[in-house]
Structure 1
Amino acid sequence: MEKTVIATPNAPGAIGPYSQGWTVGELVYTSGQIPVDPATGAVPEGIAAQAEQSCKNVGAILEAAGVTLEHVFKTTCFLADIGDFAAFNEVYAKYFTTKPARSCVAVKDLPKGVLCEIEAIAAK
């Protein structure tokens, strides 16, 4: 089975010992994407802007692997505050229009103090 590391300057670089993503056979796996602007390293304010940037970052990794958000069949979403669930969903729904299977959980903390993180699995 063919395995390939995904690397793109259009999404934030890894801040630890991991890759932005992998293709394994016909599947594409992204690492969790926090809302860091890859061009500036800045994190926007508020859950809506952060959800937007996280979705864009996931999309950039998928694009580097030759697929789009429409190919995603599973996501896992992490929120620093479950009270942000509705606002997060509003943004998420604009990007993940095919309504992939999803888990969404609140966690104690996320890297860099961000409010959300998204990882995805897509099929080529």
Structure 2
Amino acid sequence: MSDQKRINFSGSSPLEPVIGYSRVVRVGNIVHVAGTTATDSDGSGRIVGVGDMYLQTRQTLRNIQRALEAAGVELKHVVRTRMFVTDISRWEEVGRAHGEFFSDIRPVAAMYGIQALVHPDMLVEIEVEAIVTDA
């Protein structure tokens, strides 16, 4: 039985209590970030970069970075990313933005083409896992 403390970190989404999830869950040195989209950081729910998969990916990764930082974690600790995209033929736009954030970190990554996300203007959703180490 682990005695590692579980800490939930909420984001700005009003859906968290309705659906029953946290933006980030940290247990010891392991950190999971829920599926994150390109919503504006002001909590309005406005989608940044409507129609632009590259801009949505950048905003999504910025949102993830902020969520990690709230949990005392840095991007360098990310070990896995999962990218869900509504048009897999545009994978290079997502990949380019992902590379701008992770080219030196190089987590394992997967990209999945999916039919739709919760809002029709959302083109990208990303979730990450991190392990906090001294290295």
Given the two structures, how large is their TM-score scaled by the length of structure 2? 0.84
Distance 2:32 2:14 in 1: 14
Distance 2:93 2:14 in 1: 27
Q: What SS does structure 2 have at the residue aligned with 1:29? A: strand
Change (3 A) 1:93 1:14: farther
1:118 and 2:126 matched: yes
- Structure 1 spans left out of the alignment, 5+ residues: none
Cα offsets for 1:73-110 (capped at 9, x unmatched): 01111000101100111111111231100111011111
Q: What SS does structure 1 have at the residue aligned with 2:112? A: strand
State the partner residue of 1:106.
113
Q: What amino acid does structure 2 have at the position aligned with 1:86? A: E
Percentage of pairs with the same residue: 26
Q: What SS does structure 2 have at the residue aligned with 1:111? A: coil
Distance 1:67 1:108 in 2: 32
Q: What amino acid does structure 2 have at the position aligned with 1:41? A: G
Displacement, 1:111? 1.5
Matches within 5 A, 1:1-124: 1-8=4-11, 12-13=12-13, 15=15, 16-39=19-42, 40-43=44-47, 44-45=49-50, 46-97=52-103, 98-113=105-120, 114-124=122-132
Given the two structures, how large is their TM-score scaled by the length of structure 1? 0.91
Distance 2:38 2:118 in 1: 10
What is the Cα-based RMSD across aligned positions, in Å?
1.3
Displacement, 1:13? 1.7
Q: Which runs of 4+ in 1 moved over 3 A?
A: none
When Rg is computed on C-alpha atoms for both structures, the one with the higher figure is 2
Distance 2:118 2:65 in 1: 20
